[in-house]
A and B are shown apart, each in its own frame.
Chain A
């Protein structure tokens, strides 16, 4: 174990690191500038539990109906050796696939460990990559691996397709609808980023086996329900942009040392769980530990990070809590109290805030005049 890993382990405490999956890796790109999040993600901290323990439980949850729908849709597409999927890829995307075989990589016999399944995936994909034949294969339940922050993370994409012009394509199934060719932009972005994680993992695996990066296409097949039915429809998604974003984020995680050098040496997020799993560490203590790592709160965190309520509370009184655009409008001044003081007090402001003061005073004057005029 390297120094970095040892330190991260100390920060995490006695619990095992939380497993990443493609969704959580994709979510790492949502606030790269936040040191608090970077440390917690790198150390594999159980963020929802930490937030709860510090007195600010996270607001997230997933509806069982959404989960059921997703599972049902995936089952339908993959039924009968992926018959629906094949029809889609042939008819809708016009892919020439005279013969396709189906390989379910979950059946390794018995209860396979992840390492075993991963090894089998590697073996099969290596064979497919090496063979010159363009015969198509659908690999179901493949298990990939990616190094994240120094630790291996096992990833399970929905499906990996075959060999079209000698390349592998990731197939991603999502249950949000594509209506008249359009889908929710945020959901598609999340799907694209997750797919990019899979593409990266697959490229790494094949690179180990000697294949070039082109062995895995940057075009992902996104399968979604069409309009208001359960009929699936396929769209090609170019994830090159998402690939660079994820790669960037993973390399940032790898440089966590420079961040950790600035932290107090005795920092620990260990909740001191008792045998039944109840945290014994006092909330105030936990909160103090969290506060010792700087955050970069923005209202966007409310949709993407379990620590959001904690950080929002900490940010009360700052203009960042009001949003990036609002802070920008107010001349970049950090605190609400400062904004109001600069806007109201006559006299000469400190040189650094002179321009902001001028803007805020003009704004305050105009606002006052207009409110008076209206009476």
Chain B
């Protein structure tokens, strides 16, 4: 249930402009991101047609494939993209920052910053993954050789696309995702997938309301689709003709070829330029929001991943496998679940509007402390323990059972266990909590560590606390239930080969 976000949509309909659903920014926006707007050839899996890419809004670089069926031209495109992307990434492979040790881990170093790729939408993220898949297995020698930058491009693109699966990661960010997280428009989530319409609601141009700007955004003549899918009418009325002209010009002289190519590039630029502008507008809007407290923590995890992968590449080794093995799949799922839980908790802790959604759903409550026993001790066990009691009065629905352990964003190291909940119809509920931890040593609570009467607090069933990593068997010990150990990866010829019609 996301009633609060939906209510914000209703308000957006009424006011004719998108309404905020976050009070802070929950994604990292780099000072100098690389914007990548790809276009794919209709009917082909991950076949690039063109792309506009660059880290400076004033100088976009256009890459185009004049004859998508031509293998050399495809890989020339990949080489061109590799030049831009790898040079951009290289800029971040210098310097270091120290990460202090703790929790049994030693201090280590990592790169002080990491690259950030911005793409228009999730389909573009998918395209990035496909492009990575189609290039990372290519060979640099032999019959189907490609330039060395191409497989390296593939590995980086694959790394970025896999990292994008982690909730809270900002290395590869889809603009529609990032914007929709922070604003609710007056249209449906399906229509929000259109970047131009989404921005029309969030930041309409002078003189237009949100819905008017969004309606205008649906006209592919003024606002061509953000891709990777092209507008079919463009394909049929413009692109087909220009590609045929390029084909014919192959037989002619250099000037004819250049002319045909220029015409094609102009047409492709006309399809990409508007989205290019929207991407920088989106980055600017997001930058305008103050960052949430945990954004830096999550970006640090991204930096760790980036550093780790750069080391992997330096050490050599095979490209990322096509599919996960049983053990790597299970490990990854465990990681994703942990990260998702932590990220969700962090967003709620950072942002009262996000926490409000949990409060409405009964997963958290906020209220005032009406009674407190900060000195209460538990003498039942062998040792006396400090276990203060507080009573919180809240108007929020309390769905949790006694015994549930809660966390407060204000005191994340402290645990609060529900002793009892007293509900009277028509009046606020009263929750009796037993606190442990986060109060220092000894039998007296450190000052400020126990909420005092009159204080407004919030308690949630989730926390971003440390979760132990589950133990998995070694891949060589994959049990019979899961098919036994997987075969070793042997680079096969067919990885490098391709057949074209």
Contact = CB atoms under 8 A, between A and B. Distances in A.
A340 B500 contact: no
5 contacts: A63-B230, A303-B190, A319-B10, A322-B10, A325-B189
A299 B188 contact: yes
B130 interface: yes
Counting contact residues on chain B (CB < 8 A from A), the size range is 35 or more
A319 to B, nearest CB: 7
A371 B191 CA distance: 26
B188 A323 contact: yes
A193 B13 CA distance: 37
Interface string A353-365: 0000001101110
Contacts of A181: 323
Nearest to A76: B501
Contacts of A364: 7
Given A65-B41, A65-B235, A336 B134 contact: no
B45 A225 contact: yes
Interface of A: 59, 61-70, 72-73, 76, 175-177, 179-181, 225, 227-231, 299-300, 302-303, 317, 319, 321-323, 325-326, 329-331, 336-337, 339-340, 343, 359-360, 362-364, 366-367, 369-371, 373-374
A172 to B, nearest CB: 16
A326 B6 contact: yes
Nearest to A66: B43
B2 interface: yes
Contact of B189 (A70, A299, A339, A369): A299
Contacts of A72: 501
B356 A367 contact: yes
A299 B498 contact: no
Contact of B7 (A180, A325, A363): A363
A230 B233 CA distance: 25
B1 A329 contact: yes
Nearest to A65: B42
Nearest to A68: B43
Contact of B6 (A175, A227, A330, A370): A330
Given A363-B3, A370-B23, A62 B232 contact: yes
Please name the 5 residue pairs, one residue from A and one from B, whose CB atoms are nearest each other, closest first.
Answer: A177-B45, A66-B43, A69-B43, A374-B23, A63-B42
Given A181-B323, A326-B9, A371 B353 contact: yes
A330 B23 contact: no
A356 to B, nearest CB: 10
A181 B323 CA distance: 9
B360 A336 contact: no
Nearest to A319: B10
B157 to A, nearest CB: 14
A300 B190 contact: yes
Contact of B9 (A62, A65, A70, A322): A322
B265 interface: no
B173 interface: no
Interface string B227-259: 000111101100110000000000000000000
B218 interface: yes
A72 B500 CA distance: 11
Contacts of A326: 6, 9, 188-189
B359 interface: yes
A303 B497 CA distance: 36
B355 A370 contact: yes
A360 B8 CA distance: 11
Contacts of A176: 45
B4 interface: yes
B351 to A, nearest CB: 8
Contacts of B14: 336-337, 340
Given A62-B232, A180-B323, A371-B23, A340 B10 contact: yes
A225 to B, nearest CB: 7
Contacts of A373: 23, 352
Contacts of B355: 370
B387 interface: no
A323 B230 contact: no
Contact of A329 (B2, B218, B352): B2
A229 B500 contact: yes
Interface in B393-426: 396-397
Contacts of A367: 4, 7-8, 353, 356
- Pick the most buried of B2, B44, B186: most chain A CB atoms within 10 A of its CB: B44
A230 B360 contact: no
Contacts of B8: 367
Given A59-B218, A63-B42, A326-B9, A374 B190 contact: no
B11 interface: yes
Interface in B456-500: 497-500
Contacts of A230: 499-501
A363 B360 CA distance: 7
A326 B192 CA distance: 13
B47 interface: yes
A366 B498 contact: no
Contacts of A370: 23, 351-353, 355-356
Interface in B367-408: 396-397
Given A322-B187, A374-B23, A336 B322 contact: no
A321 B12 CA distance: 13
B42 A66 contact: yes
A323 B188 CA distance: 5
A61 B187 contact: no
B155 interface: no
Nearest to A177: B45
A374 B292 CA distance: 12
A228 B43 contact: no
Contact of A366 (B190, B232, B359, B501): B359
